[in-house]
Amino acid sequence: MNFEASRAKAIDKLNNFVEKNLSDYSRLRNFDFGPDKRDNVSCLSPYVTHGVLNEIEIIKKSLAKFSFSKNEKFIQEVLWRTYWKGWLELRPNVWTDYLVSLNSIREKFKDNKEYLNAIEGNTNIECFNEWVKELKENNYLHNHTRMWFASIWIFTLDLPWQLGAEFFMQHLYDGDAASNTLGWRWVAGVQTQGKHYLASEWNIKKFTNNRFNNIKLNENAPPKVSEKTYSIVKQNFANPQDIDSENLLIFENNLSFEITDFKDFKFKKIYLVSNKNENRSIKLSDKVIEFKSLLIKDQEQRIKNQSIECEIIDISEVKKIGENIIGLYPTVGENLDYLNSNNIKLNFLYRKLDQFSWQYCNKGFFNFKNYIPKIITMFT
């Protein structure tokens, strides 16, 4: 598998998938045929996570090929990330509490043999070991495989879900505070209280075309229990007025300024913000940091090609820029954490898609699904 760090390559990947493989997506999407046979899924998530492609342009491209009814499952999957982000924005303490618990658990398990064997792919479960290798080599896993992996980690290897979520964040090119954290919570049974996901031998064999043997799992484990519940925090996602002639900050989640809602505003200068491991709670692998760096450089070149002044800065330099700074909203996660912990106040710009969609993220995804046609009508 190869994820080239450029918008041009991302668009090529999108076009190729829509033209050649979208028609079979609903039928084949749950199969993991192996890292060299990924034509049944789009593999666009690393680009969506970084805003190199956005959800609406992907959906528009798919609807130009097939009707909504033919495309519905694919569109739902594209908007899962929008939903997860909105859900977490309304309950940001879920992320904060996750990091607190992770710090405690990380120290407790730093010398734990089962944990160390798991992250080295040295368990007695063949498929799990292969997925660890694949994750580290390709920085990507099929979505169905992520569910199996998390279930095995939590219920068969009996390891804390918090450490598994960290392991994914360290190595996934599409690692995202919302999708990753909430996905692991869901598998464990603490996202939807009492409802967990248990991987099974027959399911793994069926959807991997019997590629693996020796799949002995705990298929009867109860869900994990959490006494903590989270109420919705009232938020204001309104955009400021009079943003022309200001400096603009762009973080790693919005790396296609030329297709944003704000592309026609005349900003004084655009700063692309890089966040290396020094200021992260979860230390990312060198490959993930490099991927982000290359995507930022690709965005810098495209902005400069539009004759707009642009500069890449480290997140630690943001406070030096001055006051009245405008920033494309980085969403709940490491970048927003840094700004908040250093008392750096920005005037945030929110995507119209998020402003509209996040109001429907107050409940579960099945409720959100009911509003997808409305979202599509609004933005396509």
Burial class of residue 142 (count of CB atoms within 10 Å of its CB; 0-12, 13-18, 19+): buried
Whole-number pLDDT of residue 258: 96
User: Can you tell me whether residue 98 is helix, strand or coil?
Assistant: helix
Q: How far apart are CA 226 and CA 110, in angstroms?
A: 23
Amino acid residing at 102: L
| Structure confidence at residue 344 (pLDDT) | 94
Using CA atoms, how far apart are residues 139 and 129, in angstroms rounded to an integer?
Answer: 15
Residues of the chain with pLDDT under 50: none
Q: Which domains does the chain have, with CATH numbers?
A: 7-89+360-379 (1.25.40.80), 95-207 (1.10.579.10), 247-349 (3.40.50.620)
Q: What is the pTM of this model?
A: 0.97
- Under 8 Å between Cβ of 41 and 87: no
Burial class (CB in 10 A: 0-12, 13-18, 19+), 193: middle
C-alpha dist (Å) from residue 7 to 50, 54, 251, 297: 10, 11, 16, 11
- The whole-number pLDDT of residue 259 equals 96
Q: State how far the Cα of 364 lies from the Cα of 37, in Å rounded to an integer.
A: 32
Q: What are the two backbone dihedrals, phi and then psi, of residue 219, each rounded to the nearest 5 degrees?
A: -100, 10
Run of H or E residues at 272:
strand 269-274
Q: 305-344: per-residue pLDDT in tens?
A: 999 999 999 999 999 887 778 999 999 999 999 999 999 9
